[in-house]
């Protein structure tokens, strides 16, 4: 049976003190790229994130806010482009998670993390989960013979990695890349500590790769 759930990513730009209409979604990761915002009562400053369940209430700070939202929701549910005066929102990507048979009542690990100042080439590798990436800086090419390939350049570029499909990620022009990953994985990966990035490396790259890892949250969620 195919998965009934999708990952979605939205980029929202909000003017000073703008307030979006409440967004209803099963599971959402909200990340503040720039400015500040209050999200479900939590103050978010630049490079901070929060997990939201069932609903998302966003109000920009006095200098406005740029917000990225990852959703884990039923594929048949309507898209949640943010609406409100001074709110400019775009649905950047939506993908059915084919790697897993995701059905109501099943439990999964929903995680937001970042690869920081990545350099070099990964070699062929895969992941224990699937996710949508959003680039903060740099230029990275992702190549896969089975999954999606992409050329990602500049802040806001997005791409999808179905974790089971091997791929190679290469930084271009020696420009260190930083990107965020909204991911879904089996719940047993909740045991991974906040200084570890879950990868399966199957061969080395031509250029040694290096980079740091940052975790924002990981939450075992129940689908409905």
Q: What is the pLDDT of residues 170-220, one digit of tens each?
A: 999 888 999 999 999 999 988 655 445 555 555 555 556 788 999 999 999
Claim to verify: residue 165 and residue 200 sit in the same structural domain: yes
In the chain, the percentage of residues whose pLDDT exceeds 90 is 83
- Residue 216, in any domain of the structure: yes
Domain boundary residue, one of 53, 69, 96? 96
Q: Which residues pair with 125 in a beta bridge?
A: 167, 201
Q: Which H or E element spans position 213?
A: strand 210-222
Domain boundary residue, one of 53, 74, 96? 96
Claim to verify: residue 82 and residue 125 sit in the same structural domain: no
CATH code, domain with 56: 2.60.120.10
Give residues with Cβ within 8 angstroms of 50, minimum separation 6. 29, 30, 39, 40, 42, 44, 217
Claim to verify: residue 37 and residue 75 sit in the same structural domain: yes
Alpha helices in the chain (DSSP H): none
Mean pLDDT across the chain, nearest whole number? 92
Claim to verify: residue 13 and residue 90 sit in the same structural domain: yes
Q: Is 81 helix (H, G, I), strand (E, B) or coil?
A: coil
**Total domains in the fold of the chain:** 2
How many whole angstroms separate alpha carbon 67 and alpha carbon 23? 14
Residue 181 pLDDT: 97
Question: φ, ψ for residue 66 (rounded to 5)?
Answer: -115, 120
The residue segments making up the domain with residue 21 are: 5-96
- Report the range of poorest mean pLDDT among 1-5, 97-101, 109-113, 151-155: 1-5
| Three-state helix/strand/coil letters over 1-64 | CCCCEEEEEEEEEECCCCECCCEEEEEEEEEEEEEEEEECCEEECCCEEEEEEEEECEEEEEEE
| Global confidence as pTM | 0.93
Domain boundary residue, one of 54, 71, 96? 96
Claim to verify: residue 74 and residue 111 sit in the same structural domain: no
- Residue 102, in any domain of the structure: no
Query: How much of the chain is in helix, strand and coil states, percent to nearest 5?
Result: 0, 60, 40
Q: What is the pLDDT of residues 71-98, one digit of tens each?
A: 999 999 999 999 999 999 999 999 999 9
């Amino acid at each position: 049976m195919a998965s009934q759930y999708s990952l979605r990513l939205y980029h929202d730009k909000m003017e000073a003190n703008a307030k979006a209409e409440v967004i209803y979604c099963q599971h959402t990761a909200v990340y503040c790229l720039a400015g500040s915002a209050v999200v479900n009562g939590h103050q978010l400053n630049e490079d901070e994130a929060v997990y939201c369940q069932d609903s998302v209430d966003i109000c920009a700070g006095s200098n406005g806010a740029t917000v990225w939202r990852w959703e884990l929701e039923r594929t048949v549910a309507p898209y949640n482009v943010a609406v409100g005066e001074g709110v400019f929102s775009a649905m950047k990507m939506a993908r059915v998670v084919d790697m897993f048979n995701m059905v109501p009542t099943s439990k999964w690990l929903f995680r937001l993390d970042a690869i920081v100042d990545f350099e070099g080439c990964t070699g062929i590798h895969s992941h224990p989960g699937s996710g949508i990436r959003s680039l903060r800086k740099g230029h990275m090419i992702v190549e896969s013979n089975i999954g999606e390939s992409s050329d990602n350049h500049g802040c806001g570029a997005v791409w999808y990695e179905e974790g089971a499909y091997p791929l190679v990620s290469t930084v271009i022009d020696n420009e260190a890349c930083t990107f965020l990953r909204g991911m879904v994985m089996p719940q047993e990966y909740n045991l991974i500590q906040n200084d570890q990035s879950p990868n399966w490396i199957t061969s080395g790259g031509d250029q040694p790769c290096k980079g740091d890892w940052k975790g924002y949250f990981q939450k075992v969620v129940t689908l409905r």
